Structure 1
Amino acid sequence: MLIWLLPVFTGFSFFLTWVLRRYALVRSIMDIPNARSSHSVPTPRGGGVAIVLSFLLALPVFALVDAVDLRSMWALLGAGVGIAVLGFIDDHGHIAARWRLLGHFAGAAWMLFWLGGLPALSFFGRTLELGWIGHVLATVYLVWLLNLYNFMDGIDGIASVEAICVCLGGALLYGVRGEPALALPPLLLAAAVTGFLFWNFPPARIFMGDAGSGFLGVILGGLSLQAAWASPPLLWSWLILLGVFIVDATWTLARRLLRGDRLYQAHRSHAYQHASRRFGHKPVTLAVLVINTVWLFPVALLVALQYLEGSVGLLLAYVPLMLLAVRFDAGKREAG
């Protein structure tokens, strides 16, 4: 495996983020703080394009030497380009929510076409074939994941740290399961995000933007489904690794829906946002790193090794995260 090339793509991402930051400063492409912002200083935005380009340029290179499966390459490449371009346009203007959502479903459908849809799932020792219902559920899952990644990209470094933790965790799981060839795409994504994180770690000198966050969401979703095709228990493991973002975003959305809030109305009611106002960006971002490393990865590993049934492992991993969501008022409307 051409592991030695990974630092090259990290360096490329680092350099490209610097270029994008200079361009944003010259062109005044800035994120100006408002009442719904979690930052207080005007900051360049759009740096997530560095992640997109670094990862998508790396995929064909590795596919040419048979280090990445061609169907996986087309799945990630096509969906990634589509979602990133949609986010880029939205970053620089505005796309109506209905058209944006249509584009999201189109990207998810492309991803599923090349991956072969949703594979059989393991549930308490049984294998479940869901057929077309499974494909519909997988489409909704991908669309939700890319949107929740947008929602969760609200403080410095959190989306980058989450992506790196999930990708490295997934790659390690492939290693212990004897599937090293599958580890390359998540390692490539981790390498690309690491170069960007240098500029995005608190206090951030550039923001990711919708192009980067939506791209990360759909690519991580695609990698999780690819894992399911390799081994059904691995899907549970990936869902566990993604737990911090899935639980906070889903809990917050459910509470806002019950209250009758508009879904696309800007807000600062996620648990991580409430926590960041109390403790600051850096402690919360580092807390996500610790939770992923100390809690979620060990549980995901037990599931991957089949010492723990997938749904039981998911429940075990998510219950403390739900308690944290309650503790930090996920979905609670801000005073005033």
Structure 2
Amino acid sequence: MNYVWCIPIVAGISFFLTSRLRNYALSRSLMDIPNARSSHSTPTPRGGGVAIVVAFLFASGLLFYFDEIPLANFLGMTVAATAIAVIGFMDDHGHIAARWRLLGHFTAAVWLLGWMGGFPPIALFGVHVDMGWAGHVLAALYLVWLLNLYNFMDGIDGIASVEAMCACLGACLLYWLAGLNNLIGGPLLLAASVAGFLYWNFPPAKIFMGDAGSGFLGIVLGGLSLQGAWVSAPMLWAWLILLGVFIVDATFTLFRRLFRGEKVHEAHRSHAYQFASRRFSRHLPVTIGVGMINLFWLLPIAVCVTRFGLDGASGVILAYVPLIFLAIKFRAGNEEDSAV
């Protein structure tokens, strides 16, 4: 673990660059202006997620230099994630039609999977299943959905940063308990990259992440989960559990909007976390609540899956059922003029 000394450096790069990006956005009036579909009420600089991108790409270079990650994973992850960040950056500063964004997303996902070896065999109710080409298609859909849902869920102060840090540090703990120390570097340095940004994004946020940062986080987290699954099959289930808050809220909301015939690519504020932030009239309780769910509910279940023999699929079901009830309680996917 030659990279441990790099953790404060990576966090410092993210912290300093976020402050520079904030000053730049203020000087150029690159502001997120509140509207009817916003979850905030004050004009706020945007685009701070670029700091996460730069810090983690620097960290990935260090991991490769210290032989902590193989060349295939390095090229697959960094090229795909950079492409997603560039697409998000362009969309932040203009507009890219949804079909072209989606094409770019699938291209990046296929690139990552091609270098990483595709979708690994999974452990399903005690049976190891190799899905072949169907698994590769499923993996591409998984990566594209994860990067898009991360964008959808980045709607209130600090929530996307807290989710990423909880998932990454939780994965580090799981890898350490399982003796997979060679896998710790990626999530640990991603958490450090996010930590520097979170100082500026914690409620009340002084700068927003933007699509460049949220999409980048989504595909990197997806790539890390597949990387872990290639080494230990239960780790895929563990990552799905650790990311459960975002996966359940975004997916539940998507399907409810689809059933109503809404255009799901259009902006809205009907996720459970958005209804919750309006109910509490603040972002902080919701963001802290997400962290508490991750720490005290999802992480222990993930530990049971990876260390105590709990079946992975059963663990996901156990983890998600209360999250689904929370999504229903906070009206995820309801029409936005519904009572809160």
TM-score bracket relative to the smaller structure: over 0.9
* Aligned structure 1 segments of 4 or more residues deviating by more than 6 angstroms: none
Paired letter, 1:83: I
Paired letter, 2:298: L
Map of 1:230-245 to 2, 5 A cutoff? 230-245=231-246
Aligned residue pair count:
336
Indicate if the aligned counterparts of 2:25 and 2:45 stay in contact, CA closer than 8 A. Answer: yes
1:66 matched residue in structure 2: 67
1:307 matched residue in structure 2: 309
Indicate if the aligned counterparts of 2:10 and 2:58 stay in contact, CA closer than 8 A. Answer: no
Map of 1:146-185 to 2, 5 A cutoff? 146-185=147-186
Kindly state the Cα deviation for residue 328 of structure 1 after the two structures are TM-superposed: 0.2
Kindly state the Cα deviation for residue 5 of structure 1 after the two structures are TM-superposed: 1.1
Structure 2 distance, partners of 1:69, 1:184, is: 12
Kindly state the Cα deviation for residue 253 of structure 1 after the two structures are TM-superposed: 0.2
Per-residue CA shift, 1:194-241, capped at 9, x if unaligned? Answer: 000000000000000000000000000000001110111110000000
TM-score normalised over the length of structure 2: 0.98
RMSD across aligned C-alpha pairs, in angstroms?
Answer: 0.8
2:248 matched residue in structure 1: 247
Indicate if the aligned counterparts of 1:46 and 1:209 stay in contact, CA closer than 8 A. Answer: yes
Per-residue CA shift, 1:149-194, capped at 9, x if unaligned? Answer: 0000000000000000000001111101110110100001000000
Paired letter, 1:313: G
Q: What is the SS of the residue equivalent to 1:193?
A: helix
Paired letter, 1:66: D
Kindly state the Cα deviation for residue 69 of structure 1 after the two structures are TM-superposed: 2.1
Deviates more, 1:1-10 or 1:215-224: 1-10
2:335 matched residue in structure 1: 333
Map of 1:181-260 to 2, 5 A cutoff? 181-260=182-261
2:297 matched residue in structure 1: 295
2:318 matched residue in structure 1: 316
Kindly state the Cα deviation for residue 306 of structure 1 after the two structures are TM-superposed: 4.2
Indicate if the aligned counterparts of 2:8 and 2:192 stay in contact, CA closer than 8 A. Answer: yes
Structure 1 distance, partners of 2:23, 2:171, is: 34
Indicate if the aligned counterparts of 1:233 and 1:306 stay in contact, CA closer than 8 A. Answer: no
Map of 1:93-172 to 2, 5 A cutoff? 93-172=94-173
Structure 2 distance, partners of 1:58, 1:123, is: 34
Q: What is the SS of the residue equivalent to 1:71?
A: helix
Structure 2 distance, partners of 1:198, 1:68, is: 29
Identity of aligned pairs, percent?
64
TM-score normalised over the length of structure 1: 0.99
Structure 1 distance, partners of 2:70, 2:182, is: 9
Structure 2 distance, partners of 1:140, 1:240, is: 18
Structure 1 distance, partners of 2:97, 2:199, is: 33
1:263 matched residue in structure 2: 264
Q: What is the SS of the residue equivalent to 1:237?
A: helix
Structure 1 distance, partners of 2:313, 2:59, is: 34
Indicate if the aligned counterparts of 2:77 and 2:220 stay in contact, CA closer than 8 A. Answer: yes
Kindly state the Cα deviation for residue 307 of structure 1 after the two structures are TM-superposed: 2.2
Structure 2 distance, partners of 1:253, 1:213, is: 18
